[in-house]
Structure 1
Amino acid sequence: MSGRAEMPADASRRTFLFLQGPLSPLYKKMGAELLAAGCRVKRINFCPGDWLHWHGARTRSFKGKTDAWPTHIAEFLEREGITDLVLHGDQRIYHKAAITEASKRGIRVFVTELGLLRSGWMTLEREGLATLSRFPNEAGAIRAISNRAGEIDFAPRFPKSVALEIAPDVVYNLANVFLKPLYPNYQRHTLYPPVLEYLRGAWRLSTERRRDRLVRQQIEALRASGSPYFIFPLQLEGDFQLRAHSPYKSFAEVIETVVTSFAKNAPRTSQLVIKTHPLDVGFENWPALVADLKSRHRLTERVVFLDGGRLGDLFDGASGLVTLNSTAGVEAMQAGVPVKSLMPAHYDIKGMTHQGDLSSFWSSPEGPDLELLSDYLRAIAATVQVRGSIHNRDGVEAAARNMAQRILDLSVNEPGAFSAFPPRLEKARALGVPL
């Protein structure tokens, strides 16, 4: 059952509060769009990197300890008469508390994230993402939304600029390191020290060509063997999809779960291809873990570890893809590959993904209904995806303009894509997800 859409409110009566955004000028530009429409706009900064992206008369800083933040944000929402809250990601420590306090007061919450669609899209949802998404997960509702949405232009736009992907991240995090005395109590949401992460990342980049060349050889050998194979793409240890939207404490537990199940249940002629995430800088030493599991389960000839390359190169001929809850599942289904999501991902919908347990997937993977998948893609594009990109200069302008307009119109999750209760949450909790 979808919630009833609100009528757009008079812009002059709306007061927006922006918290942390993506590492780009997106939020500042969105704020300018909303100001031009007659709204009031506020921003709270938590660290020097936030300040670099947006500072001035309409901004404030929170420099207290995190345990003081819930009281601070509650008082701020009341004092400033906030009607709308905008933030990037819903599981950061500051954002979780802000959403809780906003919900108590009936304040609208808009959450942004990188796009579920590639390329040139951003995500914009009401109230929450992933497990907490209000987007329906029932085929009939999705088809109805798709029919109302009509045709969507999916042509790729706003090609990614590597400079705009890397440079803002480096500047933001190094500012937080070297200017920490200005915000001494800031608690970052990332796991690893930025300087060390960049050093390891630079080393990984220097070995990329060699690693990609080896991966191409491994894929050629895999195809030449004629053996059926399953793909298992790894996710980042710091990803909130793991930390908040799953019961696992480390991705090491996910790897052990998948490899153990494969050893027990997969056909003896099949292989498992484990591929690293392109942004993984090697803190966890997955090759050593995989080597140990291969030895323990006597899978030396049946598990292939790829440390580089493109995931899409594996789709042609794959028997299936297993994922915790990565958006790689959407890409795989678009290529016609059966997908098993261990957690109730946004796209984990009957008719699209394998609904049985993992043990049954290896022998009888359920492929996606391509017509339903098409409806799903059209439905999310019309309701919770917005054209634009933070990794392209024109894309940032488009994203700011399109997001601001959708927020002003109160057309986010519309038409009809807002459930009264997060439809994935009950299943996720049954699986041990701590939400």
Structure 2
Amino acid sequence: MSNILFLQGPLGPFFGTLAKHLSKLGNTTFKINFNGGDAIFSQADHVFNYRGRLSSWQRYLSMFVRRNNIHAIVVYGDCRHYHSIAKDICNKFDIDFWAFEEGYVRPNHITLEKGGVNANSTLDLSASAHAQGTLGRIHELARVPERTFGQTFFHRLYYGVSYYCARGLSKVWLQNDGHHRDYSNIDELRYWAFSIYRKWKYKLLQSSLDKWIVDHWANQYFFVPLQVHCDSQIYSHSDYKDVNEFIRRVMVSFAKHAPQDKKLVFKHHPMDRGFRHYGKLIRRIAAKLGIQQRVIYGHELHLPTMLKNCCGTVTINSTVGLSSLHHSKPTKVMGRANYNVEGLTSQYPLNFFWASPCPPNPRFFTKFKQALKDHTQINGSFYRDIDVTCANVIEFLMNRQVKVADYAYLARANNAPQLHFFDDEDEFESVNG
């Protein structure tokens, strides 16, 4: 049996429910909270509240894992500041580091990988020849029909309101605020109110926009899905400062190098509705470049329709990129993605992509997607039918012990920084809840 430590999870009770499931199997579970939002959903065997600063976190956690003989640390999102440090400590002490993330294959899937997710994935498919050899060893198995979990917007909204209210109230007794977003509770409430408003506003105003695009621009436009403004795909897995910079570079490259009959369609990320709006920026750049009639910025565009009728997709590192490959569309990745592999995505600079988009190898993609699902994807949702998802997570982990020999892993150098420890138990206790 194992001692398992949970850090920050997705909004809601998913981590708490998973901890209960693991405890029933004889494991001992621990949870470290960084604010009241974390605390209200904690259900581990042993719960601690971290009141220190980020600068003390490395020393605190290093002593915590030694004192409690931790065998595995579980996080949601491996690029958050506290989680990145936890990963370094796992590397140093040979502790398993498991990272959850939204599904690579959506909907109805979540991601779980050992060692990191997205561009930090340890599944070695980085070279076409090696990937073909790895995928060639994977057998198609009969699968249980996958469950559909439905829409989760209002579940997220409920959990989000609960989380941020508890986070605000907890500042009286839990001063640390380890959340990865720096917005106040009032800001969060305002932005989510904008999200609801804009969702219905653009459902009405742009209800027929995707039909117009298909009727007038079918197979003539490049599709550009935008990331959430604070997504780790931008600040950890790309060289862009923000989404604004990405938009500028794409539009300048398109104006200079795309054939005159080609168009550009941007789609706003649905989880970023209330937080950012790029309409003025896109209009201003389009006017400056003289491409106003060739650019559209949409919000409630139907994703499958957009992908089926585009002539190519440009993304930083979105799961829409995998959907684009699924539709056999030429795809250009502008960040670092685990599917940015020769034979799937364009390996040439963006300036050449507009005139010479190359479609993926469909046979290779079928094998790649099967390997990705088999190794990293779990049928489930963080926000609905959570007990079912937790049962699938445990089944995934048990099956993976058998399947691990079927995969090749990328050997990564241990570049963890030198760790510093507490000098005594009193210093450790001073920041422990």
TM-score, with length taken from structure 2: 0.88
Q: Would you say the 8 A contact 2:28–2:45 is kept in 1?
A: no
1:116-140 Cα shifts (integer Å, max 9, x gaps): 1122211110111112111122345
1:372-415 Cα shifts (integer Å, max 9, x gaps): 1111111111111112111222xx21221232344456539835
Aligned pairs, number: 410
Aligned positions of 1:233-252 closer than 5 A: 233-252=225-244
Q: Would you say the 8 A contact 1:132–1:422 is kept in 2?
A: no
Asked if residue 212 in structure 1 is aligned to residue 203 in structure 2, the reply is: yes
Q: Would you say the 8 A contact 2:9–2:75 is kept in 1?
A: yes
Q: Would you say the 8 A contact 2:9–2:15 is kept in 1?
A: yes
Cα deviation for residue 313 of structure 1 reads 2.3
CA gap 1:76/1:296 in 2 versus in 1, 3 angstroms: same
Asked if residue 33 in structure 1 is aligned to residue 21 in structure 2, the reply is: yes
Aligned positions of 1:119-158 closer than 5 A: 119-137=107-125, 138-143=127-132, 144-145=134-135, 147-151=137-141, 152=143, 155=146, 157-158=148-149
CA gap 1:336/1:63 in 2 versus in 1, 3 angstroms: same
Q: Partner of 2:309: helix, strand, or coil?
A: coil
Q: Which amino acid aligns with 1:180?
A: K
Residue equivalent to 2:348: 356
Q: Would you say the 8 A contact 2:210–2:301 is kept in 1?
A: no
Q: Partner of 1:68: helix, strand, or coil?
A: helix
Cα deviation for residue 195 of structure 1 reads 2.7
Structure 1: how far apart are the matches of 2:175 and 2:362?
52
Q: Would you say the 8 A contact 1:124–1:384 is kept in 2?
A: yes
Q: Would you say the 8 A contact 1:17–1:84 is kept in 2?
A: yes
Residue equivalent to 2:192: 201
CA gap 1:67/1:412 in 2 versus in 1, 3 angstroms: farther
Residue equivalent to 1:169: 160
Cα deviation for residue 22 of structure 1 reads 1.4
Residue equivalent to 2:55: 67
Find 2:222's aligned residue among 216, 222, 230.
230
Asked if residue 19 in structure 1 is aligned to residue 11 in structure 2, the reply is: no
Asked if residue 301 in structure 1 is aligned to residue 289 in structure 2, the reply is: no
Aligned positions of 1:12-411 closer than 5 A: 14-55=2-43, 57-137=45-125, 138-143=127-132, 144-145=134-135, 147-151=137-141, 152=143, 155=146, 157-226=148-217, 228-393=220-385, 396-407=386-397, 411=401
Cα deviation for residue 305 of structure 1 reads 1.3
Q: Which amino acid aligns with 2:213?
A: L
Q: Which amino acid aligns with 1:34?
A: L
Structure 2: how far apart are the matches of 1:285 and 1:414?
44
Residue equivalent to 2:409: 419
Q: Partner of 1:17: helix, strand, or coil?
A: strand
Q: Would you say the 8 A contact 1:126–1:413 is kept in 2?
A: no
Structure 1: how far apart are the matches of 2:248 and 2:402?
39
Q: Partner of 2:308: helix, strand, or coil?
A: coil
Query: Alpha carbon RMSD of aligned pairs, Å?
Result: 2.3
Unaligned runs of 5+ in 2: 416-433
Unaligned runs of 5+ in 1: 1-10, 426-435
TM-score, with length taken from structure 1: 0.88
Q: Which amino acid aligns with 2:352?
A: S
Structure 2: how far apart are the matches of 1:153 and 1:350?
31
Farther-moved stretch of structure 1 (86-95 vs 185-194): 185-194
Q: Which amino acid aligns with 1:26?
A: F
Cα deviation for residue 57 of structure 1 reads 4.8
Which of 1 and 2 has higher RCO (CA within 8 Å, sep 6+)? 1
